[in-house]
Structure 1
Amino acid sequence: MYGIFKRRKYFPHTYIHQLRIVFKLKEDKFHFMALSDTQQRIMPRREDREHSHCQVLAYPEAVLLTNPINPKLKGEVDDKYQYSIESKDNKLHGWIADHDAVGFWMITPSDEFRTGGPHKQDLTSHVGPTALSMFVSNHYMGKFYKEGVAWKKAFGPVLIYLNSATFDHAHRYRKSLWKDAKKRLSKEIKSWPYSFAASKDYPHADHRGEVSGQLQVRDKYLHKQLMKAKSAFVGLAAPGRAGSWQTEGKGYQFWTQTDRAGHFSIKNVRRGKYNLYAWVHGFIGNYKLDRNVSVHPGHKKNLGTLIYDPPRSGPTLWEIGIPDRTAAEFFIPDPNPTFVNSILNHEGEKFRQYGLWDRYSDTYPHHDLVFKVGASNYSRDWFFAHVPRRTGNDTKATTWKIKFKLQEVKKSGKYTLQMALAAANFAEVQVRINTPDGSPHFTTNRIGYDNAVARHGIHGLYRLYSINVPGKGLRGGNNTIFLTQTRCKDEFMAVMYDYIRLEGPAV
């Protein structure tokens, strides 16, 4: 299945919130859902989300099952956002009809047509039983596609695959159906781009090109020699500023990861003009090649060795977290025992449990978070999301403190606070140096629409702020940085930090 969408220049301005293929399966047959090797379960029924069977929680998508048809599910939370997956991994999901030992699978061998790049998260399957192939959405991102320009785009093809197995009461057929679906996915990936498509809007392999090269990183404060950009994400997307691929949707995107030496090869690229983008695990910022890359059918283009100079003003004095564009390394609390989804009872998806934002007030009942550089541990002492504090039925702004010592301070020197955000939703972070009150030294102003906290995502859109800190504002000895998330009309106005680093003056 596929869809081809065309917008003429004279069409009125509009938003496209969702483009998707949706299958509503037989409710009396399909009860078992599979998203991955570890995420498989008997699911609630559609009726379980009706008023007499559940309690609606903080928003309509999330319910507590109080009287489900299957009594084993009583006391669990169901929320479609708990089943979200990043585009790069969102290739196979589906349902099994137990009594018939039949599987229904949505297979997506390529994500070149999806919006927002490889890390864009989106829905998969949820109660209904419902199976989705998402082409466009504003989930974990915000609105886009509002412009008076012409564009045309082919979404898909995606494969709807059905399989069957011999029924047995030990449910071994579930494993057999899942294994067969994974085998079929591998076959489809090898077959991409498909040769059967007749539309001129879908080029076959001989009408595509290839781009290769090697990416290295230059950061003299970490290493005197160039460093190999190991496992970096490298991609071709529409021309724009560095990082613009996160919110781009009208064109196609082609991504790969580098090998241990930083080499990359991006195959089966449609004809067109692109920018080459990248980001490297362990380094802040976004890379963009300073020239356009033109791809022609049947041509292989080697860009040679490319050098990424990540943002850096001076040596590292201290750092919190890992530059990986997520908040996954920070403290993710156990869910409230009242609000648990058993499909998420493994470490990899712990952050998708319901209500974790509310655990901040439980973890810090009397004062806000204080992180002491050199003594605190970010995996234990840095909460994964900077959220408002719950006070009865109200919420209020919170201020986190970073305490650190400097042996000496160059009063005329320029220090830099590198603050990378993994997500933001109607939030504002104000930064103050050694004084908790008065005008902020820096503010992000109001930012973000990704709603990653409510949607159980460990990241939304990546942002980086390089904040100038004059030496005269620091002290020899004890210092404190105050981070205030000022907006607090509801618990979901929040940010997630990716990484924070204080740099000394250049040497």
Structure 2
Amino acid sequence: MQRINLIFVCPFFFFYILYLMQKNNKERLPRPGVVSSSSVASARKSRKKALSVVMDNGLVNVTLSVPEGMVTGIQYNGIANLLEERNKENDRGYWDIVWNLPEAHGNIFDKLAATSLNVVLEDENGIELSFTRTYDDSIYETQLSLNIDKRFILLRGYPGFYTYGIFERLEGWPDINVYQGRTVFKLQEKLFEYMAVSDERQRIMPTADDRARGQILDYPEAVLLTNPANTFLRGEVDDKYQYSSDNKDNRVHGWICPDPPTGFWMITPSNEFKTGGPVKQDLTSHVGPTTLSMYFSTHYAGEPLALTFRDGEPWRKVFGPVFVYLNTLQENDTEPLSLWADAKEQMLIETESWPYSFPLSEDYSFDYQRGSASGRLLIQDSYISERLITGNSACVGLAAPGDAGSWQTENKAYQFWAVADSEGYFLIKNVRPGNYSLYAWVPGYIGDYKYDFYVNIRPGNRITLGALTYNPPRNGPTLWEIGIPDRTAIEFFVPEPSPRLMNQLYSVNQAEKFRQYGLWDRYSELYPSEDLVFTVGVNNYQTDWFFAHVNRNVGNKTYVPTTWQIAFDLDNIDFFGTYMLQIALASANEAELQVRINNPDEEAPYFTTGTIGKDNAIARHGIHGLYRLYSLEIPGSQLLFGRNIIYLTQSRGSSPWRGIMYDYVRLEGPPEYT
């Protein structure tokens, strides 16, 4: 095997690419040397026979297979390969997509092996490689009908590398469904044992072998560790979904090797290319040790987040770049955990540098090509205040045109979000050119806001929208309310887990104990024969309203529907007026919510949602999925003087995970009710 070296020499820095060329003879490897431009051209012509390409900037060395574009090795800090060499070369660092044809029953897992390599740039400041695969319509039944361009960038002086991808469909191509797209890195298990997802969620993790020796619980991802190598972990549950995060919180996560002290981090400087908006949840890092960058998936949302292409729909989108950051301890620093603090600092640097100036794809949008939109969001609710209320902490964003709230299931375009200050002022920066709708939602208020006009962003535009007024759904004065309208069930009662099904991390971190395994069955233990009854003015939603309306386990893995009651008293009724019951759901999974008023035995419910949702947030330890709001008009004639009861039935049984999470429930009187 012969190695051809391309070296570029400049003051205080060298940068080179190594092409490993397959030869029958086994000549001694030549020493690196400076080559001419003609040699460079000659090497490029031979790339089809190459086995791998190596990028090295003196700090990090990255090896990729040719032409597939799989990351097979990462050399850093004296470690020959950070990636797990026991895995096959296409199972260490890769992009992948899960997809199928509309008429197919099973899914196809495609690691996006490329068929061609192009060196886009190579100079003293860095290099960009492009691994491409072009769709061939002659074999479409077995090939993903997308053009794939995977890019890798190594810059001078940077301890890490960037990766981004461009996916393209041309008009007329076959229909497909695409469910997941991501970048995956699988690290050496013997080196990386400590995982960090946030300040509160970090710990020594079990190994894949620990899981293999454990007991699989209700689904394969959840394993009870019965005989781990680290006895401290015995009796704990490991489940990758326990480490999910909202897009807005998923900026940096990864692993620490204690000896030699080395950090491997996935940094996401922007969420503009992710689907489902800022509160869409997805995976981060988990046992493997595995680090992910999830660009889109159906997790915590279901089919609405699948990318469905029909009738030859064209499409093109850039995902990333994301930054794989590597770090080690500074001089005189002996604490490996300081690598997490350094990774967070680097995340802030990357975020402030967005959009990057160095990607060379013509589809990437630079800062001078982008615009911004600013304004102020105010709330008008005369039943709370006669004056306009500032949209404190409102989440305001630009996304593809659609109905109010449609951003949470939008999955093909870009989204740009900002959080308003305490006075409701917002600035949405770095927006790619295009035509958008402006959306918002405000903590403390139900519903979704949509601006009446489109926002057309052009390069260099700084659009000032002025004061915008949101009128949240409201029929009359609040008679009573349960919960806080924040799109999650976090404020409700989350029980302690079964002592034999705990993750110690969330025993310490009580704020996120909803991530414990098996909480759905705790309802049956707390309410073994009679369901939850909540009496307004007596009970407290923080202690008396279970966080998820789930089925009851009656034994032998049999789950039956449950009916909750809201009891309240009315001393004054407007029999000719219209009352309004506002029910905001934080999640639903193959559920049906039926509402009955003062008559639990009435065969036809007063209202039903029908079957809704495939969020699966109950099983996957999420405290929310997709947001839904139902406004039910109730004639005063349906109500009684004195005690009234609203019956809430989740009517779909048979599964522990069929259920809903309430965000907020409110009964409003008629407009003139006193």
Please indicate, yes or no, whether the TM-score normalized by the shorter chain is above 0.5. Answer: yes
Aligned equivalent of 1:436: 600
Alignment of 1:260-299 (within 5 A): 260-299=422-461
Are 1:416 and 2:580 matched, yes or no?
yes
Counterpart in the other structure of 1:362: 525
- The 1:167–1:443 alpha-carbon spacing in structure 2 relative to 1, beyond 3 Å, is farther
Matching residue within 632, 648, 651 for 1:467: 632
Does the C-alpha gap of structure 1 residues 128 and 167 become closer, same or farther in structure 2, counting only changes over 3 Å? farther
Cα deviation digits, residues 391-449 of structure 1 (max 9, x gap): 01211000000000001111111111000000000000000000001210000000001
Aligned partner of 2:248 in structure 1 is 88
* 1:66 alignment partner in structure 2: 226
Amino acid at match of 1:174: P
- The answer on whether the counterparts of 1:101 and 1:166 sit within 8 Å (CA) in structure 2 is no
Q: Decide whether the 8 Å contact of 1:167 with 1:173 is kept in 2.
A: no
Aligned to 1:352: 515
- The question of whether the paired residues in 2 share the 8 Å contact of 1:17 and 1:137 is answered with yes
Distance of aligned partners of 1:70 and 1:422 in 2 relative to their CA distance in 1, 3 Å threshold? same
2-side partners of 1:117 and 1:189: how far apart?
Answer: 17
Q: CA–CA distance in 1 between the matches of 2:440 and 2:215?
A: 44
Q: Alignment partner for residue 654 of structure 2, among 462, 484, 489?
A: 489
Q: Which runs of 5+ in 1 are unaligned?
A: none
In the TM superposition, 1:237-386 aligns within 5 A as 237-344=399-506, 345-386=508-549
What TM-score, normalized to structure 2? 0.74
1:183 shift after superposition: 1.1
Distance in structure 2 (CA, Å) of the matches to 1:45 and 1:11: 43
Alpha-carbon distance, 1:172 to partner: 4.9
Query: Do the aligned residues in 2 keep the contact of 1:213 with 1:263 (CA within 8 Å)?
Result: yes
Distance in 1, Cα, partners of 2:309 & 2:168: 13
Question: Which segment is superposed worse, 459-468 or 32-41?
Answer: 32-41
- Distance in 2, matches of 1:97 and 1:11, equals 46
* Structure 1 residue identity aligned to 2:325: Y
Deviation at 1:182, TM superposition (A): 1.0
Contact 1:408 1:475 in 2 (8 A): no
Q: What is the match of residue 565 of structure 2?
A: 401
Change (3 A) 1:449 1:9: farther
Task: Give the distance between the partners of 1:216 and 1:423, measured in 2 at CA.
Answer: 27
CA distance in 1, matches of 2:572, 2:356: 63
CA distance in 1, matches of 2:484, 2:340: 34
Bigger mean CA offset, 9-18 vs 121-130:
9-18
Q: Does 1:165 align with 2:329?
A: yes
The aligned runs of 1:125-274 (5 Å cut-off) are 125-143=285-303, 144-148=306-310, 149-165=313-329, 172-274=334-436
Runs of 5+ consecutive residues of structure 2 not aligned to the other structure: 1-162
Letter in 2 for 1:123: L
Note closer, same or farther for the CA distance 1:265–1:166 as it changes in structure 2 (3 Å cut): closer
TM-score, normalised with respect to structure 1: 0.98
1:100 pairs with 2:263: no
1:280-301 Cα deviation digits (max 9, x unpaired): 1110000000111000111100
Q: What secondary structure does 2:294 align onto? A: strand
Is 1:6 aligned to residue 171 of structure 2?
no
Does the CA contact (< 8 Å) of 1:48 and 1:54 recur in 2?
Answer: yes
Change (3 A) 1:32 1:167: farther
Report the CA distance between 1:186 and its aligned residue.
Answer: 1.0
The amino acid of 2:555's aligned partner reads G
Contact 1:404/1:478, CA 8 A, preserved across alignment: yes
2:341 partner letter: K
The one-letter code matched in structure 2 to 1:306 is L
- Distance in 2 (alpha carbons) for counterparts of 1:416 and 1:387: 25
SS in structure 2 of the partner of residue 88 of structure 1 = helix
Structure 1 runs (4+) greater than 4 angstroms displaced? none
Q: Distance in 1 between matches of 2:272 and 2:513?
A: 29
Please give the alpha-carbon distance, in whole angstroms, between the structure 1 residues aligned to 2:425 and 2:204: 43
Deviation string, structure 1 residues 236-265 (Cα, Å, up to 9, x no partner): 000011101101111000001101110000
Deviations 1:327-350 (A, max 9, x none): 000000011111111222312211
- Alpha-carbon RMSD: 1.2
The answer for the alignment partner of 2:668 in structure 1 is 503
The structure, 1 or 2, with the larger RCO (C-alpha pairs under 8 Å, 6+ apart) is 1
Shift in Å, 1:178: 0.9
1:166 is displaced (CA, Å) by 6.5
Q: 1:477 to 1:172 in 2, by over 3 A?
A: farther
What is the CA distance between 1:506 and its match in structure 2?
1.2
Secondary structure of 1:502's match?
strand
Alignment deviations for residues 274-317 of structure 1 (CA, whole Å, 9 cap, x no partner): 00000011100000001110001111000010000000111111
Q: Structure 1 CA distance, aligned partners of 2:521 and 2:566?
A: 22
Q: CA–CA distance in 2 between the matches of 1:172 and 1:354?
A: 35
Q: What residue in structure 2 maps to residue 480 of structure 1?
A: 645
Partners of 2:338 and 2:537 in 1: how far apart?
Answer: 51
Aligned to 1:448: 613
1:90 counterpart letter in structure 2: N
C-alpha separation in 2, matches of 1:457 and 1:21: 22
Letter in 2 for 1:104: F
Which stretch of structure 1 is more off in the superposition, 275-284 or 14-23?
Answer: 14-23
Distance (Å, rounded) in 1 between the aligned partners of 2:652 and 2:264: 44
Which residue identity is paired with 2:375? G
Which residue among 620, 623, 629 is the counterpart of 1:458? 623
Distance 2:277 2:511 in 1: 21
Q: What is the deviation of 1:40?
A: 1.2
Instruction: Check conservation: 1:318, 1:501, Cα contact below 8 A.
Output: yes
| Alignment partners' CA distance in 2, 1:453 and 1:12 | 35
For 1:492 and 1:237, the matched residues in 2 are separated by 31
